[in-house]
């Protein structure tokens, strides 16, 4: 049965790596639902967070293939039960009618959003949460005149207490850090 999997990939920070990783998904005709990349707490180590909808078997095959890429230190696939995750969204809302401002600000406060920017004519609101939370807030803002909407990809960490870098080859990582320093 297909469901969403979050694939965490820890890599060296090299040019062209994103392309090589996305080809792995393309060859298997797996659509990437969400993709974020950032540096980890370890200098020179990047984390790709990739969300895909596939079977458990396919998620294992993807991870096996990703782990064969030279710059990849380690990759893991997790279902939602094993991850803590969030996204961020920005909503640009029409406030040319000044009577809309108070209800919009009240709605933002009720749903854990904040006004991040305002000028005559529009307000920009920011909200974090699951994609479901973000889309619910989107639907609530539509009647006010939603001018623009954008949301990030998923960011995620594993629910285990251990740091991610403790989960993969600590000796190899220590050697890699010595090369960087």
pTM of the model: 0.78
The answer on pLDDT for 176 being more than 80 is no
pLDDT for the residue 131:
92
Burial, 7: exposed, middle or buried (Cβ in 10 Å; 0-12, 13-18, 19+)? Answer: buried
Confidence of residue 68 (pLDDT cuts 50, 70, 90): very high
Q: What's the CATH number of domain 3-84+155-180, 1.10.260.30, 3.40.50.720, 1.20.1250.20, 3.30.70.260?
A: 3.30.70.260
Buried b (16+ CB within 10 A) or exposed e, 117-128: eeeeebbbbebb
The answer on pLDDT for 163 being more than 80 is no
Provide CATH code, domain 86-151.
Answer: 3.30.70.1150
Provide the mean pLDDT of the chain.
89
- Residue 134 has which token pair? 């973000």
**Are residues 49 and 36 in contact, defined by beta-carbon separation less than 8 angstroms?**
yes
The answer on pLDDT for 96 being more than 80 is yes
pLDDT digits (tens, 9 = 90+) for 99-129: 888 999 999 999 999 999 999 999 999 999 9
Q: Where are the domains of the chain?
A: 3-84+155-180, 86-151
**Are residues 47 and 40 in contact, defined by beta-carbon separation less than 8 angstroms?**
yes
Q: Could you check whether 3-84+155-180 and 86-151 share the same CATH topology? A: yes
Query: 115-118 — which CB contacts under 8 Å span 24+ positions?
Result: 116/90
């Amino acid at each position: 049965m297909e469901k969403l999997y979050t694939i965490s990939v820890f890599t060296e920070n090299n040019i062209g790596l994103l392309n090589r990783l996305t080809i792995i998904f393309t060859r298997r005709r797996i659509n990437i639902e969400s993709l974020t990349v950032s540096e980890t707490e370890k200098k020179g180590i990047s984390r790709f967070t990739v969300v895909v909808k596939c079977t458990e078997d396919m998620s294992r095959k993807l991870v096996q293939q990703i782990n064969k890429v030279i710059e990849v230190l380690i990759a893991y696939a997790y279902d939602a039960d094993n991850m803590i995750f969030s996204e961020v969204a920005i909503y640009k809302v029409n406030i040319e009618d000044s009577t809309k401002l108070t209800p919009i600000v009240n709605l933002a406060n009720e749903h854990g959003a904040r006004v991040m920017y305002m000028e005559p004519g529009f307000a920009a609101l920011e909200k974090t949460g699951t994609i479901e939370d973000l889309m619910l807030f989107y639907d609530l803002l539509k009647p006010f005149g939603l001018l623009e909407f954008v949301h990030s990809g998923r960011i995620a960490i594993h629910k285990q207490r251990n740091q991610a870098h403790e989960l993969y080859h600590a000796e190899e990582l220590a050697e890699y850090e010595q090369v960087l320093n």
